[in-house]
């Protein structure tokens, strides 16, 4: 489908939208909590892919995960009322074999929610504040009243726990 975009094929764009718009919209809505703002981000993300399909490198992960990360970054920029900070070409993910099959996205989501549910509440909370609210570690420390070092450790340990859940 991305190859179709490179040739300027509008039907490839429609097919790609039908397959991935639910992921993009869910991520945008989770960050922004507002359907209108989420639709704006949805529009922006797909239009950027249309304008520059080469920004996605198939050798480095699935389109679903790439779109999810690009959307999250754009949504956080929108939430914090700042200009886009990350160019979509700068979003580089390592190959994640467990995400290779797009059809398994529901299973992946379930597994992530399971891993998050298994974390201690303060750890999950630190990770979610950083990811879904775009808070810096010092903002999280200020909000929770915890030392900076503790916040850093919790966030890294949270990501490692997620990684581990997909290695077993």
Site for other proteins in 70-129 (CB under 8 A): 71-73, 76, 85-87, 89-96, 99, 105, 108-109, 112-113, 116, 127
For residues 145 and 160, which CB has a smaller minimum distance to other proteins in the complex?
A: 160
Polymer length of the chain: 168
Residue 34 touching other proteins (CB under 8 A)? no
- The count of chain residues that interact with other proteins, using the rule CB under 8 A, is 78
Exposure class string for 68-88: b at 16+ Cβ within 10 A, else e: bbbbbbbbbbbbeeeeeeeeb
In the complex, minimum distance from the CB of residue 52 to other proteins, in angstroms, rounded to a whole number: 7
Mark 143-162 with x for binding to other proteins (rule: CB under 8 A) and - for no binding.
---------xx-xx--xx-x
Judged by phi (left if over 0) then psi (alpha if -120 to 50, else beta), residue 44 lies in: alpha
Contact 72, 131 (CB under 8 A): yes
For residues 15 and 145, which CB has a smaller minimum distance to other proteins in the complex?
A: 15
Side-chain half-sphere CA neighbours of 92 within 13 A? 2
Mark 36-75 with x for binding to other proteins (rule: CB under 8 A) and - for no binding.
--xx--xx--xx--xxxxx---xxxx--xxx-xx-xxx--
């Amino acid at each position: 489908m991305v190859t179709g975009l490179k040739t300027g094929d509008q039907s490839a764009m429609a097919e790609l939208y039908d397959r991935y718009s639910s992921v993009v919209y869910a991520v945008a809505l989770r960050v922004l909590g507002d359907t209108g703002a989420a639709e704006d981000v949805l529009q922006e993300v797909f239009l950027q892919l249309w304008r520059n399909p080469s920004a996605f490198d198939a050798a480095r992960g699935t389109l679903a995960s790439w779109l999810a990360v690009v959307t999250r970054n754009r949504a956080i920029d929108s939430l914090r009322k700042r200009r886009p900070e990350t160019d979509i070409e700068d979003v580089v993910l390592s190959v994640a074999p467990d995400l290779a099959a797009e059809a398994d996205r529901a299973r992946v989501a379930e597994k992530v929610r399971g891993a998050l549910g298994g974390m201690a509440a303060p750890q999950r909370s630190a990770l979610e504040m950083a990811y879904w609210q775009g808070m810096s570690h010092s903002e999280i420390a200020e909000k929770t009243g915890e030392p900076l070092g503790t916040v850093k450790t919790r966030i890294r340990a949270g990501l490692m726990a997620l990684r581990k859940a997909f290695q077993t």
